Amino acid sequence: MATFTLNRMHLLCRNTHCRSFFAGFIQRAQLSTLESVRNNEQCKLEYLGGENNGIAVISMNRPEARNALGKQFLREFADCTNVVKFDKNLRVVILRSLVKGVFCAGADLKERAKMTNEETGPFVAGLRASVSEVANLPMPVVAAIDGFALGGGLEVALACDIRVSSDDAKMGLVETRLAIIPGGGGTQRLARAIGPAKAKELIFAARVFNGKEAAEMGVVNHSVEQNSDGDAAYQRALKLGQEILPQGPVALRAAKFAINRGSEVDIASGLSFEEAGYSQVIPTKDRREAMQAWLEKRKPVYHGY
């Protein structure tokens, strides 16, 4: 909350000294928040450097449960998304697994089996909210699926803007096998990704499909041949991140806003969202920097405001 308030004050500043003053406070607030997730056990956050500066990686790491979505996991996952949410310096977030052969196996059934009916509803609502937090992150989010992504695991991936999978990854919304339905947004996001008819077929049949089939159906953007390290999808996601990095950060956020909101309404309303997004980039220094760089025949240097 403190970082959010500081960011708003930073944006309201009209001169360089004011912006610099609040930028320092924002950096310290973000560092303290990063420190709070540094000791996470099941969900880790890393800021990359060098040519990948501007990319953050959220790594799922619960090997004994194949990254199942338990209570501690979801708390740590939410902590990571809260850190990156307000960081104006980030251009891309990559979501991956550190467990070889697994992206996320879905719900923690051992925990779920111990819940009463009264406990299950609020827990699933919390899971749905956590997945929606991924979809609502302002910057582009890329899912690197290097293994099983079943049930809630696939729902997490579907909340990302771009999905890359290894060809041997296994995916599916298989909840109907357990006499339930996808509860983390899967019925909605899968239908929007590939159309209602195909989504119904996959969910009704609880079908499991591989990475190549996922790409053919449009569930993922890219399917790549797995490598000996088991991280081919992550390596491809990094390359995508590197393609995104040079672009204007305010423009990236505005484009994501316009596409996400516009895809849910009629085209006339969608064009209004595009207009709203465009109005956000017009007064930015980055836009003026882009024009100046073009005139001077050099690469622009963007700062995110």
pLDDT of residue 69: 93
Say whether 289 is catalytic.
no
Q: How high is the pLDDT of residue 139?
A: 97
Catalytic (active site) residue 206: no
Q: What is the dihedral of CA 83, 84, 88, 89, to 10 degrees?
A: 110
| Least-confidence region, from 32-46, 92-106, 236-250 | 32-46
Chain centroid to CA 205: 27
CA distances 229 to 35, 55, 62, 148, 275, Å, are 29, 21, 18, 16, 45
Structure confidence at residue 107 (pLDDT)? 87
Identify which of 102, 118, 90, 221 has the alpha carbon closest to the alpha carbon of residue 171: 102
CA-based radius of gyration for the chain? 20
| Active-site position among 76, 155, 159, 215 | 155
For residue 65, what pLDDT band results from cuts at 50, 70 and 90?
Answer: very high
27 or 178, which is more confident: 178
274 catalytically annotated: no
- Single-letter amino acid, residue 201: E
**DSSP letters of 36-77?**
HHTT-SSEEEEE--GGGTTEEEEEE--GGGTT-B-HHHHHHH
**What confidence score (pLDDT) does residue 33 get?**
66
Entry pTM: 0.86
Active-site residue among 147, 151, 152, 185?
A: 152
> Cα separation of 28 and 22, whole Å?
10
Residues facing 107 on adjacent strands: 69
Q: Residue 16: what pLDDT?
A: 55
**Annotated catalytic residue: which of 23, 65, 107, 199?**
107
Band of residue 1 on the pLDDT scale cut at 50, 70, 90: very low
Position 119 scores a pLDDT of: 86
CA atoms of 121 and 274, how far apart (whole Å): 36
Residue 31 pLDDT greater than 90, yes or no? no
Which residues contact residue 189 at a Cβ distance below 8 angstroms, ignoring those fewer than 6 apart? 135, 155, 158, 159
- The per-residue pLDDT for 23 is 53
pLDDT above 70 covers a percentage of the chain that reads: 89
Please answer whether residues 289 and 249 qualify as being in contact, where contact means their C-beta atoms are separated by less than 8 angstroms: no
Average pLDDT over residues 161-167: 98
Q: How far is CA 4 from the centre of its chain?
A: 19
Our answer to whether residue 152 is catalytic in this structure is yes
What local confidence, expressed as pLDDT, does residue 14 receive?
52
- Closest by CA position to 219, among listed 275, 149, 270, 127: 149
